[in-house]
Amino acid sequence: MNTRPIAALVASAFLAACLGTLQIAPQKPEPPPPPVPDRFQAEQAPDLVPTEVDGCQAAPALDPSLYFCAKDEHWYRFALNRWYLAFAWDGNWFPVSSAELPPGLRKITPKTELETVKTREERLKELERKLEELDGEQQAP
């Protein structure tokens, strides 16, 4: 008697039993990619000016938070409340973490740069003045 067909039948039954007990966990959907700023639209590369950031120059005529860092030859931009990197001044922007930034740029957050220079009392007075202006606008007919 040939045992091959019986062995194949046993092996296929074993395989079917294994597959029947195998459970595949549902995959979580991937989060959407973070938004990125639009590319710059200009005829030529912006003029660069020296900055206090070691190894980096700024392009304030195009964007006040646009920097070119010569060491790694990358462009950095603060937009949409985070830092982005591009390989060309008008290139596609990629979100980066603070660990990926040059050391000088890690200390800068353009939206808060002016606020950090002001004292707490100065910021509170400024907010009170803005609130008074808003109250005056609401009361006017």
Q: What is the pLDDT of residue 95?
A: 93
Pairing of strands 74-79, 66-69: antiparallel
Two tokens at 82?
């985070």
Pairing of strands 82-86, 56-58: unpaired
pLDDT digits (tens, 9 = 90+) for 42-52: 888 899 999 98
pLDDT digits (tens, 9 = 90+) for 10-26: 677 676 666 665 566 77
Distance CA 126, CA 115 (A): 11
Distance CA 120, CA 42 (A): 40
Q: CB of 38 within 8 A of CB of 49?
A: no
Which of the pair, 21 or 129, is modelled with greater confidence?
A: 129
81: left (phi over 0), alpha (psi -120 to 50) or beta: left
pLDDT band at 96 (very low <50, low <70, confident <90, very high): very high
